[in-house]
Amino acid sequence: MMALIRAGLVGWSGALLITVLLLAATSSTTTTAGVRRMLQPTDIQKALLAKYLSNQELESHLKDYVKRCSKISRLVKFGKSGQGADLVALHVSSQPDKQSAVPKPQFKYVGNIHGDEPSGRQLLLVLAERLCAGYPSEPSIKKLVDSVELYLIPTLNPDGYAAHRRENAAGTDLNRNFPDPVKLRGKDLTQPVGPEQPETRAIMAFTLEHRFVASLALHEGALVANYPYDGYPDGDLSVKGSKHASPDDAAFMHLARLYAKLHTTMSRSAEFKEGITNGAQWYPLYGGMQDWNYLAAGCMEVTLELNDNKWPAPPRLSEMWVENQAALLQWPLATLAGVHGVVKGEGPEGKPLPLAATVLVDGIAHNTSTGPQYGDYYRILAPGDYTLRVLAHGYKEATAKVSVPADGSGVTKDFLLAPLVPFPVKAKADQGSKVTVEVVRPGVSKHPGGDEPQEEWVLVHGGPTHGTHSSGGSSGSGTSGFVKILAIIAVQVLAVGAFMAWRRLSSQWGYSGLPVSTIHGSPARQGKSAWPPV
């Protein structure tokens, strides 16, 4: 049967459906069920690029999507806009409704941060359709969905979109509304500090909860891939044309270049060399989402400007999809293109257990933490040679040298850390606020060639009976009598006598400048402590 197909968008029974007009020579009527069976994914994609959906149509379409593509998708509501619209992420995964049996990195796309930059809404919807149509038959799409947990957020600013303006309903630019590292120097950036809008607070909490490894933010107004930092250390807003590089500048430049090269035209930009720019070098801004992601959440986000003009006409959307399709589909695999693996420690009876650990890269002042369930880590790095160091409380430090290949395949490096061995000490706090601590069994021996222990003492537990204690200082109420404190020392500590070992242990408790004496032949510390007298 020959047919002429015309696609449009209408609301139908509470869901956004594609209306197809079939003019057939052999039949004058076609049932609704027949039309829906004949509808192909490409028809849906074309229809989504034919017009911008209203917020209501977007909501209906997403609900319809998770019905059609239920095996790989679910909807996640993570907050509400200032006017009460749901903020929704479309989770696409090989196992969307259950915890993955193996660790996987998490990645997010964020569109429509500015209300008058809506192309990202439609591009992410088409991307979702592409994933649904290609899974599991297309190897490249199967690899992406099987390897990475994808979260597509078509709009972060539905109120601004409805009003056809940049800001949200309260008149706030959301991309200037995040806790800023310059204004809040030295303070906790993970918590809202007051002026953050509901949309900002929602995406902050969502990002921290999911520990996203990387992210793409879709904007309009230029054609370039922008990377951190966006501002200068002095908070200057003037355009200086000078770069402010982050510790991961090489990796960010690599990520920006990757997107620009996968894009059909971005890398050939006449304005931006290679189609990329450092944010501050282009123009400085503060309170941006990109820098917050990196510094507060450890998420390496690149900001994409995908069209010179804002709010491009619908015919331009199809062209933009062709330009960005490969990049949107392939870029998330960069989460695995550096170094990744799991960190475990020897547990009871030698059974390895996932560890809460910190992964450091020599020469890069930015650390990565492991995930709580698997002990997994993902460290995006530019191609090259690196030395990794892994630290976990109560375990020996581990190091490894790795070479990150240029082909994007990445390196898997797992770590199994050996535990340190604890030994007891005693402490006594009297009514006069003096504290006396005695090493019960230091477990050290003389080294024939020196007097320094080879490893640091580390406090892992302990404190007064009716108080608290941490490795950074002491607090609580002391009581007379002996109280048990647990400290640890490495088995291989071969040096020094008890005095040097005790000096290192005491430094972990913050007793700076207190006089030292020897009690019962063992080193001890006396003097006023942070614990108040009873």
The catalytic residues are 305
Residue with tokens 């490893």: 455
**Nearest CA among 289, 316, 528, 297 for reference residue 429:** 528
Helix (H, G, I), strand (E, B) or coil at 133: helix
Q: Based on DSSP, count helices (H) and strands (E) in the chain, helices before strands.
A: 12, 27
Per DSSP, the residues of 168-223 read -TTS--GGG-SPPTTTTTTS-SSS--S---HHHHHHHHHHHHHT-SEEEEEE-SEE
**Does residue 355 contact residue 369 with C-beta atoms inside 8 Å?**
no
Helix (H, G, I), strand (E, B) or coil at 440: coil
**Nearest CA among 379, 376, 383 for reference residue 408:** 383
**Phi, psi at 62, each rounded to 5°:** -65, -40
Helix (H, G, I), strand (E, B) or coil at 126: helix
**Does residue 398 contact residue 355 with C-beta atoms inside 8 Å?**
no
In Å, what is the CA distance from 13 to each residue of 16, 32, 34, 51, 212? 8, 12, 17, 20, 36
Structure tokens at 218: 């879709």
Quote the distance between the C-alpha of residue 438 and its chain's center: 45
Angle value at C-alpha 46, between 76 and 319, nearest 5 degrees: 100
